[in-house]
Amino acid sequence: MKILLCFGTRPEAIKMAPLYHKLKENNFEVIVSVTAQHREMLDQVLDFFDIKPDYDLDLMQPNQTLNNLSALILSKMDKVLLEVNPDLVFVHGDTTTSSMVALAAFHRGIKVAHVEAGLRTYNKHSPFPEEINRQLTGRLADIHFTPTNEATSNLVKEGISQSTIIQTGNTVIDALFWTISKIEKQNYIHPEIEELKNIIPSNKKIILVTGHRRENFGTGMNNLCEALLEVSKREDVVIVYPVHLNPNVKDVVNQLLSDKKNILLINPVSYPAFVWLMQKSFLIVSDSGGIQEEAPSLGKPVLVTRNTSERPEGVMEGFSKLVGTDKEKIINVIQELLENFNGFENKSNPYGNGNASKNIISFLQNLN
């Protein structure tokens, strides 16, 4: 079976990497096409997971609109689809790359498999544009690999045939475990991790921060920064913030938080360095989806700076808390955790156990 894997952003690459390697191990013919909707952050991941794309559409442009990006993906992917003529196209999650590649494949009558299918907020404006990207991709896909019960039941409620839904867990946990086993090897030295060890004080509680959602651009980002400034007055904490490269994030964060005591602003770090940072952190503040999924495996609480989450399992089981972007709320929840959090009692991660890509392969092998 000839399989075309398509992705474009850092999180998609992290989550497709374990599948790429499992497909290769099991002798599937695998072709990789990246849109490079992110550039530097994508390349960091390709490098670490040793993936060399067969097609690199290199579509990222400064100040690109979503319509322009969508049109480019449709036209460039059409050529790739014609040339490769795959049996199955794999897309992931909820990006413009996922929905537009799925649409291009549909137009060409090529079957689409959707990894991390079934996540929903059912609010088309939040997250924007991801909710519509994932719903569109869900309508276009022929096979749906879901991470959780909740995701499966969303698709069933939408009338998707149960025989096309395969619950596998999330491949991000496969990527996380693989990375931990690599960085914990005795003689493994990663220059970025060594550098972080040098610049982060070892006697303080690390608050790790990330953020990139469009819905938080503007007031939300401002409130978050002001809350962090307040928390940074405590002498027992250091805030470590790898700042997303999107100018809507970078400019505000640099303006409000550079050169402040107990706050360390750094560029986005490679995946192994970020996993190391998560392991060392006391708590995480983030609007990221992947981090909500990874953190439970590491026993780290996450304050989610959003009002809704398409990952309700972590919230229901107490791993994460939805705090929105209200300054006082963020401060209070951080203070409360700093004083009282003693770890989660051996609860298992609702998002997966590290076998998601193996489960996807088993399904494909039965198709043959």
- Helix, coil or strand: residue 233: coil
- DSSP annotation string for 71-108: HHHHHHHHHHHHHH--SEEEEETTSHHHHHHHHHHHHT
Tokens for 102?
Answer: 């799925």
141 residue type, one letter: A
| Rounded alpha-carbon distances, angstroms, from residue 188 to 17, 90, 247 | 20, 32, 34
Site string for ligand UDP, 294-313 (x = CB under 6 A): x-------------------
Identify the active-site residue in 38, 244, 306, 311.
Answer: 244
CA distance 221 to 148: 30
288 neighbors 244 (Cβ within 8 angstroms): no
Backbone angles phi, psi at 63, to 5 degrees: 50, 40
- Pick 142 or 192: Cβ nearer ligand UDP: 192
Per CB under 6 A, the list member of 55, 271, 276, 351 interacting with ligand UDP is 271
In a 10 Å sphere around its CB, with 0-12 CB exposed, 13-18 middle and 19+ buried, how is residue 144 labelled?
buried
Reply yes or no on whether 116 is catalytic.
yes
Site string for ligand UDP, 143-182 (x = CB under 6 A): -----------------------------x----------
Instruction: Determine, following the binding rule CB under 6 A, whether residue 18 of this chain makes contact with ligand UDP.
Output: no
Tokens for 300?
Answer: 């780290």
Instruction: Determine, following the binding rule CB under 6 A, whether residue 314 of this chain makes contact with ligand UDP.
Output: no
Please state the length of the chain.
Answer: 368
Per CB under 6 A, the list member of 8, 290, 314, 350 interacting with ligand UDP is 290
Site string for ligand UDP, 24-63 (x = CB under 6 A): ----------------------------------------
CA distance 99 to 288: 19
Tokens for 367?
Answer: 């198709």
Per CB under 6 A, the list member of 220, 268, 301, 352 interacting with ligand UDP is 268
- Pick 291 or 333: Cβ nearer ligand UDP: 291
Q: Which residues contact 316 (CB under 8 A, 6 or more apart)?
A: none
Q: Candidates 8-16, 76-84, 131-139, 346-354 — which segment interacts with ligand UDP by CB under 6 A?
A: 8-16
Q: Candidates 22-30, 51-59, 283-291, 342-350 — which segment interacts with ligand UDP by CB under 6 A?
A: 283-291
Residues carrying an active site annotation: 94, 116, 130, 212, 214, 244
- What is the binding site for ligand UDP (CB under 6 A)? 10-11, 14, 172, 210, 212, 242, 268-269, 271, 274, 288-291, 294
